[in-house]
Structures are given as structure tokens and as C-alpha cells.
Amino acid sequence: MKKFIALMLTLLLAMTSLAACGGGGDSGSGGDTIKIGVFEPASGDNGAGGKQETLGIQYANEVQPTVEIGGKEYNVELAIVDNESDNSKAVTAAQDLVSKGVSIVLGSYGSAVSIAAADVFADAGMPAIGVTCTNPQVTADCEQYFRICFLDPFQGTVLANYAWENGMKKAYCLSKQGDDYSKGLVNYFIEAFKGLGGEVVEEQFPDKNSDFTSYVANAKKNNCDVFFSPVSTEAAALIIDQAEAQSLGMPILAGDTWDSNVITGAAKGKNVEVVVTTFYQEGGNPEFDSGIKEWMENNSEAKTNNGGNTDLAAVTAMGYDAYFVALEAMKAAGSTDPADILAALPELNATGLVCGDVTFNEVGDANKTTAFVKKCNNETGAWEFVKEQSAE
């Protein structure tokens, strides 16, 4: 037994030193490589979305694997870490990225983990760019955090406006217990919808729940006009399925997370109306669309991570943009040092992106004033553009 302990301890020591030396060597000899940290969930509740967002970043890296900073050509390497959609794992995951010597961090899908990691990035002076974390708290008190997407208050208002303008007077709002994203968006929606004179029924479902029968029945029982449920895509597919089974008879409205091929896949061939607001309109940039589709077609792992087909999710496009924003920031800074990049970010004006140009306001949020409203075509299983909607 003692031998075993000895063995374990030596093994541990050896591994520690190996990993430490290995890591140390990398960061020390930066050389011609620059690292971009990808802080995304690959497991847990938001694993699916996180993977799709990572795909965009990976594709962007494939398209543009080098960057010229201060007259010198650097290879860009991605350091991807899984934050497991879990606040308690996010801190070590974030620290792991910082320790690997990355110059800037992208992510995460899901606001809670981003908020959790914000302090680590702040301590390290590490610039971070939120891709699709829409909770205002992410950037609110963290000077290191920027983001390229719109915010929940904005999105909630947009959704409420859309619902009200289309004659929906009573909304059924369903969020996931313990999930600050869906709860936050529901809160802003309710605020805006009530402000317009609407009526609201609000409920939550516990995590790990896959039986949405009663929630759909509750919406019917309350004679609602719209089913607002901006939850994760896992739950979304189940909700759509139940809505079909019970002939829900009202449109389902959701936020950016639902702009995913999981949803179109679930809604295809069903008599359920799904409407979402999103960052990106497929077809807006044909070159990007065909390029990434071809890439996924030739990369089986990427295709699997995208859910088995090559239909685009908005978060993938956003991930793609985030990568280029990061490159722009480095170019503007003329340095690979996180502190310099951080200094360059507020003044950045990134153009040529697929989801529109990005400039940051004083909080670090992107100046975006419109969202795209899309509707799922039940026959083709593709998104159809409805309109651009603003918060006014």
C-alpha cells in the first residue's frame, strides 16, 4: 500500500512539474505564435450552444490563421477550455487560460459563467470579448470585459414590441429555474410587455426536466396568445415537440439561443410557429455561409459538433466575428501584450464582419440598435426573415 502512495505521489509530482514546465515554456517563448483563449462550455446545460459558438471561432482561425502585428507575422493558436456551464468550474477554467499565456479571451456562451470568470480576467488584466452573453452584468462592472452582441434589456424590449405589434395581448413566460439567462430575458420581456399594456403568466421549470406537457397545458389553460420561452436549445426541442403533440395553437417566441439548427430541426414538419430575435440573418453574407458550410462538410467533427448537419446557428456567426474583432484589436494595439490590447479595445472599430460592424460604448458593450426577427418555415426547416426590429 505504501508503495502505491509513493507511486501516486511521485506520479502527481512528475505530472505537475511536467505540465508546469510545459506551460511555462510555452508562455515564455511566445515567439511567432499568439494564443487566443476560447472560454466556452463543451458540456453541461449549454454544451451544445458553446460548441456551436466555438465552431465559428475555429472556422475563423481556419480562414485567417495568421495575423500581422507591428509588422511581424504571428500564427494564431486557439487555446480552448471547457467551462462545463458551471460557475464552480468556470473559475479554474478561466485561470487555466490565463496561465497558458493567452493574449485575449473569447466567450462564453451563457452569461453566468462569464460573470464568474470576470474577476479572474480582471485580476490578470486580461481582455475578454463576450460573444453572445447578453446579461448586462457581464460588462457592467468589469473593465476587462467587452462584448459584440446586444443585451437582454434590449432584446426583451424588442421581443415585447414584436409580440404587442402582432396583436398578442397575453404572454405565457417560461424560464428555467437557476438559469440566469432565461430568467433575465423573461424579466426584461415582462417589464416591457407590461409597459405596453400586456398581461403575463410566468412559470419556471426545474433543471433536468424533460416533461413539458404540463407547461404547454398551462399556457393553453390560461388562454395566452404567445408562448415566450427563451430557454436552452435542449429544452427548446422538447417544448416544440410537446407544443405539436398538444396543438398549442399560439406562436412560440424566443431569443437568440433559439436561432439554432436544433430548433429548425425540431420544428420541421410540425404545426408550430416559432419566432426568434437574433444577431445574424443567414444569407446576409453568402461568402461566409458557403465557406463555413463547406468547411463543416469536410470536417466530420465540426459537423458532429454542429448537431450533425451544416445548418448555421447565429452563435457560430458571432463566434466568427469575435475572432476577427480580436485580431483587429491586436492589430490596433500593435502588440500581443494583453495590457496593450485592452487599451486598444475601447477605440476599436471592427468592420467587414458578418453580423455588422462593432464599436464599443463606454461600458464595453457593442453599439447595436437592431435585431433580426426570424420565423421558422415548417416545411423547409429553414429560417425566414421577417423584419428588423428596434427597441423603439
Partner 1 sequence: MGFIQTWLPYILAGVAVGGQYALIAIGYTMVYGILRLINFAHGDVFMWSGLIMVYLITILPLWLSVILVIIFAIVLGTTIEKVAYRPLRSAPRMSIMISAIGVSYLLQNFALYITGGLTKTYPTIGWLQRTVSIGSATTKMVTLVTPVLTIVLVFLLVMLIKHTKIGMAMRAVSRDFETSSLMGIDIDRVITVTFVIGCALAAIGSILYFSNYTGIQPMSGAMPGLKAFVAAVFGGIGSVPGAVVGAFVIGVAENLIKGIGWTNFSDAFTFVLLIIILMVKPTGLFGEKNIDKV
Partner 2 sequence: MEKTLNNKTKLVLSIAAIALLLILVYVGDNTIPANSSWKMLITVIEKGSIFALVAASMNLLNGFTGLFSLGQAGFMLIGAYTYAIFTIPGKSHEAVYQYFDGGLIQWSIVEILEGKLGVFGHYIGMFIPMIGAGLLVAVVAALIGIPVLRLKSDYLAIATLGFAEILRAFFQWNSLGPITNGSNVLRKYTTYGNAIFPVLVSGICIAIIVLLINSTYGRAFRAIRDDEIAAEAMGINLFKHKEMSFVISSFFAGISGALLAMFQTTINAMPFNTVMTYEILLIVVIGGIGSITGSILGAFLFISTSEWLLRGLDAGKWLGISSNLMRPGFRKVVFAIIIMLIVLFYAQGIMGSREFSWDSFINWWKNLPANLKAWPAKRKAKSTAKKEARARKAAAKAKAKEAKAEGEAKRASGEALFTPLPTSDEVMVFGKEGK
Does 155 participate in binding partner 2 (rule CB under 8 A)? no
In the complex, the smallest distance separating the C-beta of residue 208 from partner 1, rounded to whole angstroms, is 4
Shortest distance in whole angstroms from residue 22 CB to partner 2 = 8
CB under 5 to 8 A by kind: which of partner 1, partner 2, none does 237 bind? partner 1
Angle at 161 between CA 160 and CA 162, to 5 degrees: 90
Q: Which of residues 209 and 335 has its CB atom nearest to partner 1 in the complex?
A: 209
CB of 273 to partner 2, least distance (A): 27
Q: Quick one: CA dihedral 184, 376, 368, 122, positive or negative?
A: positive
Tell me which of 98, 248, 274, 302 binds partner 2, using CB under 8 A. 98
Q: Does 238 bind partner 2 (CB under 8 A)?
A: no
Residue 119, interface with partner 2 (CB under 8 A)? yes
Contacted by 19, from partner 1, partner 2, none: CB < 5 to 8 Å by type: partner 2
Should residue 177 be labelled a site residue for partner 2 when binding is judged by CB under 8 A?
A: yes
The DSSP H or E segment spanning 192 is helix 180-195
Cell numbers of 125, please? Answer: 488584466
The window from 198-206, 219-227, 233-241, 274-282 that contacts partner 2 (CB under 8 A) reads: 198-206
**What's the CA gap between 58 and 56, in Å, rounded?**
5
Q: Is 91 in the site for partner 2 (CB under 8 A)?
A: yes
- Exposure string (b/e) for 246-259, b if CB count within 10 Å is 16 or more? eebebbbbbbbbbb
**Which of 16, 271 has the CB closer to partner 1?**
271
What is the rounded distance in angstroms from the CA atom of residue 210 to the CA atom of residue 310?
A: 26
What percent of the chain is helix, strand and coil (3-state, nearest 5)?
45, 20, 30
Instruction: Tell me the C-alpha distance between 58 and 130, whole Å.
Output: 16
Among residues 285, 265, 232, 262, the alpha carbon closest in space to that of 109 is found at 232
Contact 246, 270 (CB under 8 A): no
Least spacing, CB of residue 249 vs partner 2, in Å: 27
Site for partner 2 in 321-350 (CB under 8 A): 338
Which parts of this chain interact with partner 1 (CB under 8 A)? 41-44, 47-48, 51, 177, 203-206, 208-215, 217-218, 220-221, 233-234, 237-238, 241-242, 244-247, 262, 265-266, 304-305, 307
Interatomic CA distance for residues 110 and 125, integer angstroms: 22
Binds 221, which of partner 2, partner 1, none (CB < 5 to 8 A, cut-off by type)? partner 1
Nearer to partner 1, 2 or 208 (CB): 208
Q: Is 315 in the site for partner 2 (CB under 8 A)?
A: no
> Which of partner 2, partner 1, none does residue 220 bind (CB under 5 to 8 Å by kind)?
partner 1
Please identify, using beta-carbon distances, which residue of 13 and 217 lies nearer to partner 1: 217
Q: Please state, in angstroms and rounded to a whole number, the distance separating the CA atoms of residues 264 and 311.
A: 9
Query: What does DSSP assign to residue 375?
Result: E
218 interface partner picked from partner 2, partner 1, none, CB below 5 to 8 A per type: partner 1
Choose from partner 2, partner 1, none: what does 225 bind? Cβ within 5-8 Å by kind.
none
CA angle in degrees (0–180, nearest 5) for 119-124-345:
90
**CB nearer to partner 2: pick between 135 and 281:** 135
Q: Specify the pairing of strand 382-390 against strand 370-377.
A: antiparallel
Residues 20-59 binding partner 2 (CB under 8 A) are 20-24, 27, 42-43, 45, 51
Q: Does 256 bind partner 2 (CB under 8 A)?
A: no
- Is residue 99 within 8 Å of residue 120, measured between CB atoms? no
- Site stretch for partner 2 (CB under 8 A), options 1-9, 215-223, 352-360, 378-386: 1-9
| CB 139 within 8 Å of CB 189 | no
